């Protein structure tokens, strides 16, 4: 894709931005006739798309998304760009209007559209933006100053900002970050919530497994995520301690549930009452038995996936934007 992006950047006179991180895609970005744009090939879920973002001066769009769609349906530039007599209804419906941007993700299958086509669509979208909204031009988007504003990628989105506003924004971000750091967390409540959830889920899981006589390894994902969520709820702000607690509780809950299931099953099979001796006997063979079958290993892995997912989703907020000069 990088070669296509290079070509797209060349045709449109934009900057080619290499892919960011493992899941990022390369794109072309910069100032196109006063609008700050970004276009490239990427994926949305399982769907391959060409993605377009045309940023205009915030809150200057006159009209609503219906008017935009009507204009898009009748746009000669768009028809020409697509090489069609009619703008497809799917494209018209896919147009999204944000307070400062016109956004389009256009799905394609098999063959990715040529850069020339992507460039033409992007230019047609800029044309549409021009009829409804004011361009950003070369002014700073925060203070309106014409002097010293430059185009940056702020978390991968092109913005025009001057040096003064950038340092003000940085200072503000640092302040928010410190406020967050000072926020209280309640490790004790997190511990109580996590332990209670882990115990209840272990019992419930064992109960269900006993009733139907099989272990549902997949349910462990839910157990892990529920425990992580509850530890989070209890703690308020999660920290390293909370993360460790979550993983410990999750493993304990799944292993505990597994153990209880085994204990109940042995008692039923041997027609024995549940006693301390029986519990000890089962505990001795449990490590061997639990991991002898794939379900034991699977539920262990799944529970960690569940907990990991929630921990990731509840990671501390990011305050500072990564500013990167785009150089145009
Ligand atoms: Zn400024």
Closest CA to 58 of 145, 167, 136, 147: 136
70: pLDDT strictly greater than 90: yes
Q: Which DSSP helix (H) or strand (E) runs through 325?
A: strand 323-325
Q: What is the DSSP letter of 213?
A: T
Cα–Cα distance between 165 and 155 in angstroms, integer? 16
Cα–Cα distance between 286 and 248 in angstroms, integer? 18
- Cα-to-centroid distance, 141 and ligand 1 (Å): 7
Residue tagged 């990715």 (tokens): 112
Cα–Cα distance between 60 and 37 in angstroms, integer? 16
What's the pLDDT at 238? 76
What's the pLDDT at 58? 94
- Cα-to-centroid distance, 321 and ligand 1 (Å): 16
pLDDT in tens, 85-109: 999 999 999 999 999 999 999 999 8
- Cα-to-centroid distance, 172 and ligand 1 (Å): 14
- Cα-to-centroid distance, 104 and ligand 1 (Å): 28
pLDDT in tens, 272-327: 888 888 999 988 988 888 777 777 788 888 888 888 887 887 777 777 777 888 87
Cα–Cα distance between 231 and 227 in angstroms, integer? 6
- Cα-to-centroid distance, 316 and ligand 1 (Å): 28
- Cα-to-centroid distance, 119 and ligand 1 (Å): 30
| Structure tokens belonging to residue 133 | 């909204």
Cα–Cα distance between 79 and 76 in angstroms, integer? 5
- Cα-to-centroid distance, 58 and ligand 1 (Å): 14
- Cα-to-centroid distance, 54 and ligand 1 (Å): 21
- Cα-to-centroid distance, 136 and ligand 1 (Å): 13
* 101-105, 144-148, 264-268, 319-323, range with the lowest pLDDT: 319-323
- Cα-to-centroid distance, 24 and ligand 1 (Å): 29
CATH class held by domain 2-136: alpha beta
CA distances from 168 to 54, 110, 162, 226, 273 (A): 26, 46, 10, 40, 71
Identify the band that residue 258 occupies on the pLDDT scale cut at 50, 70 and 90. Answer: confident
What's the pLDDT at 328? 52
What length is written for the chain? 328
Residue tagged 């109940």 (tokens): 264
- Cα-to-centroid distance, 163 and ligand 1 (Å): 7
- Cα-to-centroid distance, 27 and ligand 1 (Å): 26
What's the pLDDT at 219? 83
- Cα-to-centroid distance, 167 and ligand 1 (Å): 9
* 21-35, 45-59, 125-139, range with the lowest pLDDT: 21-35
Cα–Cα distance between 81 and 71 in angstroms, integer? 15
Closest CA to 49 of 106, 87, 121, 3: 106
Q: What is the DSSP letter of 192?
A: H
What are the structural domain ranges in the chain? 2-136, 138-182, 187-313
Q: Which DSSP helix (H) or strand (E) runs through 36?
A: strand 35-44
Query: Where would I find the beta strands (DSSP E) of 56-148?
Result: 96-98, 101-107
Closest CA to 253 of 312, 203, 305: 203
Other Cβ atoms within 10 Å of 299 Cβ, number: 27
- Cα-to-centroid distance, 102 and ligand 1 (Å): 23
Cα–Cα distance between 91 and 103 in angstroms, integer? 11
- Cα-to-centroid distance, 88 and ligand 1 (Å): 40
- Cα-to-centroid distance, 137 and ligand 1 (Å): 13
More confident residue, 64 or 185: 64
């Amino acid at each position: 894709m990088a070669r296509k992006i290079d070509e797209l950047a060349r045709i449109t006179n934009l900057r080619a931005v290499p892919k960011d991180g493992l899941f990022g895609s390369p794109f072309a970005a910069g100032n196109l006739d006063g609008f700050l744009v970004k276009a490239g090939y990427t994926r949305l879920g399982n769907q391959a798309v060409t993605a377009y973002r045309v940023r205009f001066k915030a809150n200057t769009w006159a009209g609503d998304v219906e008017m935009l769609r009507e204009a898009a349906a009748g746009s000669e530039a768009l028809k020409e760009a697509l090489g069609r007599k009619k703008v497809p209804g799917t494209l018209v419906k896919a147009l999204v209007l944000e307070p400062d941007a016109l956004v389009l993700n256009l799905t394609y299958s098999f063959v990715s559209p040529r850069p020339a086509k992507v460039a033409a669509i992007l230019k047609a979208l800029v044309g549409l933006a021009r009829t409804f909204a004011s361009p950003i031009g070369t002014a700073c988007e925060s203070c309106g100053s014409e002097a010293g504003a430059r185009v940056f990628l702020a978390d991968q989105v092109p913005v025009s900002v001057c040096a003064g506003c950038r340092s003000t924004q940085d200072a503000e971000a640092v302040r928010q970050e410190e406020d967050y750091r000072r926020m209280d967390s309640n490790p004790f409540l997190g511990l109580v919530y996590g332990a209670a959830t882990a115990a209840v889920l272990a019992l419930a899981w064992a109960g269900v497994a006993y009733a139907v006589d099989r272990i549902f390894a997949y349910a462990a994902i839910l157990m892990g995520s529920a425990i992580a969520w509850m530890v989070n709820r209890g703690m308020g702000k999660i920290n390293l301690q909370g993360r460790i607690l979550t993983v410990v509780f999750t493993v304990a809950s799944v292993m505990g549930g597994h153990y209880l299931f085994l204990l109940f099953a042995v008692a039923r099979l041997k027609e024995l009452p549940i006693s301390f001796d029986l519990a000890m006997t089962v505990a001795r063979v449990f490590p061997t038995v639990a991991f002898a079958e794939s379900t034991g290993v699977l539920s262990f892995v799944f529970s960690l996936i569940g907990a990991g997912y929630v921990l990731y989703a509840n990671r501390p907020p990011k305050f500072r934007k990564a500013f990167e000069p785009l150089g145009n």
